[in-house]
Structures are given as structure tokens and as C-alpha cells.
A and B are shown apart, each in its own frame.
Chain A
Amino acid sequence: MEGQPSGTPFMVAGYLITWAVLAWYVWRLNRRSADARRALELAPATPHANE
């Protein structure tokens, strides 16, 4: 369109951002999962309730 910037850089940026965001989110899930697993391994056994 006349007077408007070329769309190609915006399109490329959009796909790069999409893949980066999705990769980041999966990485975050992996990281938090590892933290939770470590916390569970380190936690002492739950004391039993008095009957």
C-alpha cells in the first residue's frame, strides 16, 4: 500500500516472536517442573495425623 512501510519485516518479526514466546513458555514449564520435582525429593515424609 502506498505510504505504508513494507510488511515483510513485520511478518518476519511476528513469526520469530511467536516461536520465541512458545519456546520460552515451554522452557519455563520445564524449569518450574524441575524445581517442583527437586522440592518433592527434598521434602521429608508427611507426618501422619493423630487418629
Chain B
Amino acid sequence: MTITDLPQPNPGRARLLGTATLLVVAAGSAAGLFLVPADALQGEVQRLLYVHVPAAWLAMLSFFVVFVMSVLYLIQRDPKWDLLAVSAAEIGIVFTALALVLGSLWGKPTWGVWWTWDPRLTTTAIMLMIYVGYLTVRSFADDPDKRARWSAIIGIIGFVDVPIVYLSVLWWRTLHQPPSSPRSMAGEFVYVLLLNVAAFTLLYVYLMLRRYRLAVAERHVEELRLTRDDGRIT
């Protein structure tokens, strides 16, 4: 299979999805900012939960996708799995960084510090570094197959940290609160949180479609350059 044979998302559908995503994410933010009251203990800063939790959820989802795509690539050696993996890795890095920044903004007025070497925060920072490393390693390999293989191995091994991040608040004594759930939150807060999680998940689908389409195009450009720059290679 060549790069030009790869399935590509329909641009028209992507635009429609983009518009729907924008509206749903805006609705989620509006609900988080204006629909629910401030938390009785934490005050207004608690509203950051409605963006921090979805960002963290998407980060872990992204790296799970990297893991699955990496396994599929090593089994089938189909380039589309590698392009999906790199797309998910990049998006995952954006959401991990966002989750850390938002957590910091919540932590300063709540805990009094921007950062602490708490297990959840530390393992999340490690997760960010692993996937930045994933993208960095890709830049060292000119050969697309070698690049895909190296990064697939990192994508599989690196995923070990993801369940550690999630379970860190249960395994160790930690400042970070346990996972938010209907049992730990009042009803109206739960609905707004779920709305934002759904909105961000839709956003994730949209970003994956866009990023994958870009990955296919860039891979096509690379293939054309490889065949042009070295006429001996076809």
C-alpha cells in the first residue's frame, strides 16, 4: 500500500464536525462558567475542574490510542497505523500540557503552590516527557519504516505510565483528589462535568481527523521528496 492509497477523512465532513465541536465545547464552557454555582468550599476556582478533567481524560485516551496503533503497526506494518499513532501522540501532548497548566492554576489558590512532587503530578509530568520523547525520536529517523518501528516501540512501552498516572491517587498518599465521580460530586456539577467530557471527546475526534489528514499529506510530500532527491530509489 502506498501513501496515496491511504484512506483520508472527507474535508466537508471534517468542517461540519468542526462547527459542531466548536458549539458543543462553547456550550460546555458556558455551562461550567455560568450555569452551575461556585463550589461551597473551593469557590470559583473549582470551575477549572470542567476543563482540567476533560483535558486529562483526553491525554490518557490519546496515549491509549498511540498504544493500540503502535501494536497494530508492528503487526501489520501498514503506514496508516503509524500516522494515526503520531497524530494521537501530538494531540495527547497538547492535552497533557494543558491539564498540567490548568492543574497548576487550580493548585496555587487551593494548595498555595504552583507545583508539588505529588504522585499524580509527577507521573503526569513523566507521561508528558515520554511522549515528547516519542516525537523527538521520530525526528532522528529519515527512513519512514525505521521511524515508525522505533516510535511504535516507544508508544507501547511508554503506555506503562498511563495506568500509573490514573491509579496514582489510589495507590499512594497524595494531595491530588481521587477521580471525580457521581459519588464524590453534587448532581448539577456531575452533569456539567459530563457535558464537558463529551464536548472534549468530540473535539478529540475532530482534531484526530484533521491531524491524520495532515499526517497523510506530509507523508506524501516526504515520499515525493525521497523519490525525487534520490532517483535511484523508487
Contacts and interface: CB of A to CB of B under 8 A. Distances in A.
A40 B29 CA distance: 38
Given A32-B218, A44-B228, A5 B108 contact: yes
Contacts of A32: 214, 218
A26 to B, nearest CB: 7
Interface in A5-38: 5-8, 10-11, 13-15, 17-19, 21-22, 25-26, 29, 32-33, 36-37
A36 B101 contact: no
Contacts of B218: 32, 36
A32 B231 CA distance: 27
A51 to B, nearest CB: 11
A10 B45 contact: yes
Interface stretch (B132-140, B153-161, B219-227): B219-227
A14 B106 contact: yes
User: In terms of DSSP, what is the predominant structure of the interface of chain B?
Assistant: helix
B224 A43 contact: yes
Contacts, number: 105
Given A11-B45, A43-B221, A6 B109 contact: yes
Interface residues of B, number: 43
B213 A33 contact: yes
B45 A8 contact: yes
Nearest to B234: A49
Contact of B217 (A18, A37, A44): A37
Interface size class on chain A is 20 to 34
A19 B196 CA distance: 13
A18 B98 contact: yes
B199 to A, nearest CB: 11
Contacts of A7: 42-46, 106, 109-110
B52 A25 contact: no
Contact of B231 (A25, A36, A43, A47): A47
Contacts of B207: 25-26, 29
B110 A4 contact: yes
A11 B44 contact: yes
Nearest to A30: B210
Interface in B1-25: 18, 25
Contacts of B228: 43-44, 46-47
23 contacts: A1-B43, A4-B110, A5-B109, A7-B44, A10-B45, A11-B44, A11-B48, A14-B105, A15-B33, A15-B51, A17-B101, A18-B51, A19-B29, A21-B94, A21-B98, A29-B210, A29-B214, A33-B213, A36-B218, A40-B220, A46-B223, A46-B228, A48-B234
